[in-house]
């Protein structure tokens, strides 16, 4: 039986069934995927996927955009030569080796923009923010400007607290617990392979994952549910 509580518990079954039917019968995902020019480049043994949209305007600012969780690409009226790079392990970028860090990703993205493409400024958000900041901090002779849509300020970890003999107040203890037990963090940290396989293997799983997020992100003037094409534009 379906849980009560509506979309707050996840995308509703009837909506998911409607979206599944649309994707199978009327939505041309192959045509949608060809709208943007996709490329891959092998850097340090990793296949790095990126979209490269170059304008005729010679004064356009070269911009690399770094995503966080799986997302789609929207057009913009601002004049940019756009490179949208996929983090290692996402879409057509291959999975990184063990102990790979955001600094490693920043390094190969620097190789991408200097040796493969030759430029740019950077915009990043959420998890991609860590890569974007490292890229700007380490290679600002190439990355001339940076913009971050989200900069989380996290409390010290349990290991940091123990190593530095830090005494936390009651409120700080609650904050530390909530951070360390944050469900998304736990899933990504301990069950990354399971979620990676299920989300990549099952289109319905992707619909359920993204569909629940679309409702949260919708503008009040946009109705819900929406169709697959509109979901791509919103997300």
Give me the mean pLDDT over the 213-229 stretch.
59
pLDDT at position 42: 93
| Pairwise CA distance, residues 35 & 159, whole Å | 47
Q: What CATH code would you report for 36-153?
A: 3.40.50.1820
pLDDT at position 185: 60
Q: What is the pLDDT of residues 16-33, one digit of tens each?
A: 888 888 888 888 888 888
Axis-axis angle for helices 13-25, 203-217 (nearest 10): 120
Residue 222, CA distances (Å) to 7, 17, 70, 165, 207 in order:
16, 20, 22, 50, 19
Long-range contacts of 96-101, Cβ-Cβ distance < 8 Å, separation of 24 or more:
96/46
Q: What is the pLDDT of residues 66-80, one digit of tens each?
A: 876 655 555 444 566
pLDDT at position 29: 80
Average pLDDT, rounded, for the chain: 75
Start-to-end Cα distance in the chain: 29
pLDDT surpassing 60 at residue 234: no
From 225, 172, 220, select the one nearest 22 (Cα to Cα). Answer: 225
> Is the model's pTM score more than 0.85?
no
pLDDT surpassing 80 at residue 166: yes
Give me the mean pLDDT over the 131-152 stretch.
81
CA contacts within 13 A on the Cβ side of 221: 0
From 147, 79, 135, select the one nearest 109 (Cα to Cα). Answer: 135
Query: What's the angle, vertex CA 107, arms to CA 43 and CA 79, rounded to 5?
Result: 90
| Pairwise CA distance, residues 162 & 19, whole Å | 49
Q: Where are the domains of the chain?
A: 36-153
């Amino acid at each position: 039986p379906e849980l009560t509580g509506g979309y707050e518990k996840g995308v509703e079954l009837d909506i998911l069934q409607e979206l599944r039917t649309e994707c199978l019968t009327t939505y041309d995902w192959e045509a949608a995927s060809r709208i943007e020019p996709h490329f891959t480049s092998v850097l340090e043994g990793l296949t790095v996927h990126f979209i490269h949209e170059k304008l005729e305007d010679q004064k356009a600012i070269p911009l690399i955009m770094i995503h966080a969780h799986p997302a789609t690409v929207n057009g913009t009226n601002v004049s940019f030569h756009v490179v949208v790079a996929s983090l290692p392990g996402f879409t057509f970028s291959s999975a990184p080796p063990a102990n790979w860090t955001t600094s490693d990703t920043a390094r190969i993205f620097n190789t991408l923009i200097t040796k493969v493409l030759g430029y740019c400024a950077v915009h990043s958000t959420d998890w991609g923010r860590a890569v974007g900041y490292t890229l700007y901090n380490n290679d600002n002779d190439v990355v001339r400007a940076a913009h971050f849509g989200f900069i989380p300020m996290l409390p010290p970890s349990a290991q940091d607290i123990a190593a530095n003999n830090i005494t936390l107040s009651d409120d700080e203890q609650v904050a530390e617990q909530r951070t360390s037990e944050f469900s998304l963090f736990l899933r990504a940290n301990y069950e990354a392979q399971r979620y990676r396989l299920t989300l990549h293997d099952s289109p319905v799983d992707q619909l359920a994952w993204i569909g629940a997020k679309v409702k949260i992100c919708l503008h009040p003037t946009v109705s819900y549910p929406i169709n697959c094409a509109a979901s791509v534009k919103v997300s």
